Amino acid sequence: MKEIKQYTDVFLIGIGGIGMSALARYFKQKGLQVAGYDKTSSELTNTLTSEGIDVTYSEMVSSSIKNLSKASTLIIYTPALVKTSKLVEYFTLKGFDLFKRSEVLGFITKTLPTLAVAGTHGKTTTSAILIHLLKANGIKLLGFCGGILQNYNTNYIGDGEEVVVVEADEFDRSFLHLHPTAAVINSMDADHLDIYETTEKLVGAFQDFAGRVPKNHLYAKSGLKLKDAHFISLHENAEVQVQDIRVENGCYTFNFKTGNCYLKNLQFYLPGHHNIFNAAAALALAIDFKPQLAHSFGKALQSFKGVKRRFNYLHKTKDLVLIDDYAHHPKEIDAVHQAVSEMHPEKRTVVIFQPHLYSRTKDFAQEFAVSLARFDEVYLLDIYPAREAPIDGVTSAFLLNLIQNQNKYLITKTDISKRIETAHGEVVTLLGAGDIGVEALKLKKDLHEMD
């Protein structure tokens, strides 16, 4: 890849993806002409259009695409894209500079201090917390986040280049292109087995990523099979430790200890012990970068508002609590259930889940069944296929049969609002990484209009 200043145009294939859209905003800020393709319009692509970025929804090679110069145009594509993309084929045949999103992030991080957040769960929330801690303390940063930060209503922060915050994505081994100066690994649970085939190969990739981190600057959840890491724990002795967790007035309060730093009575509003861990991981990286600001970083936790689709309260009354979350892995569903049970112990728990990917549903069917059965009532939507073709026998009905719970049902999207209408004294969670988030926004709008 050439130096960015040698390009005049950037075209992103899959621009509507959360990671790709952040890169689009980065290049737009750099003064390049930015355009891209995505399969369908969305709230995110509409926002990009309003920011002056041209988005097309057709793979037909238009005149504007034909007018792009291969000498001065950078083409970026997402590995989640279908391999038969006509645009990828066109740009490849024409000899354009064509790179994966991860390769471009690797180029950006090569010469700048970089704080990387890795793990099969918690990357986005931890990255968002870290971005907020740094920004709230006046640090000029580039922040690439896999979700919309509610404090700033964007997934990209471009204040300056003192430091880069980036999610280190394990999908397609993307994180092996990064150049971290410090990093955290939150988890290494089995996932993306369509890519890795075995858990051992997945763990091996994380270990390879850990090997890219300078000595003494790697942090990880206690118990992970990693060498030379500073381990983080909520419940046992570790080099980075959270102590005395308690809930006071709907807010977590806890103490944080690492090295010579001891922070007392930190306040944090995101529900769930998994989010306390995410906060501790973000604090560890922020303090690694600027140890002299440790107390200010701790104080800034209190003002973090969260990330869209990460345990978002859509509605909260005596009769109904409605929560929207991106959880699409059994461990993430367990974390949501823990948070719901702790924050709303008196309420009946209902889950409406949209499985994401046929391969993930097949690989973790038994684990999904156990996690979902913990709720008092379970509803399943059809599997959201994303980039995949169907797998024989892998359906939501197949998953429903495995769930040991008498109160379990298959529903369609049109049934969701009917079920919400009958809720009384319940906490209803809408979970999944597909388009169930769109349904959640519709519900929020409808409930707001009824109030």
Q: Which of 144, 209, 184 is nearest to 289 (CA)?
A: 184
- For residues 295 and 393, membership in a common domain is answered with no
The segments of the chain whose pLDDT lies below 50 read none
Indicate which CATH number applies to the domain containing 150: 3.40.1190.10
Model pLDDT, residue 387 = 76
The count of domains in the chain is 3
Model pLDDT, residue 68 = 95
- For residues 93 and 128, membership in a common domain is answered with no
- For residues 382 and 424, membership in a common domain is answered with yes
Given 281, 303, 325, which residue is the final one in a domain? 303
Given a contact cutoff of 8 angstroms between Cβ atoms, the answer to whether 180 and 109 are in contact is yes
Q: Does residue 107 belong to any structural domain of this protein?
A: no
Q: Does residue 105 belong to any structural domain of this protein?
A: no
Q: What are phi and psi of 261, to 5 degrees?
A: -105, 130
Domain containing residue 434: 312-450
Round to whole Å and give the CA distance between 372 and 4. Answer: 47
- For residues 133 and 279, membership in a common domain is answered with yes
Q: Does residue 286 belong to any structural domain of this protein?
A: yes
Q: Does residue 106 belong to any structural domain of this protein?
A: no
Given a contact cutoff of 8 angstroms between Cβ atoms, the answer to whether 326 and 294 are in contact is no
pTM of the complete model beyond 0.75: yes
Given 303, 326, 345, which residue is the final one in a domain? 303
Pairing mode, if any, of strands 251-258 and 261-268?
antiparallel
- For residues 294 and 173, membership in a common domain is answered with yes
Q: Does residue 8 belong to any structural domain of this protein?
A: yes
Q: Does residue 436 belong to any structural domain of this protein?
A: yes
- For residues 126 and 259, membership in a common domain is answered with yes
Round to whole Å and give the CA distance between 34 and 17. Answer: 15
- For residues 317 and 408, membership in a common domain is answered with yes
- For residues 279 and 227, membership in a common domain is answered with yes
Indicate which CATH number applies to the domain containing 416: 3.90.190.20
- For residues 167 and 295, membership in a common domain is answered with yes
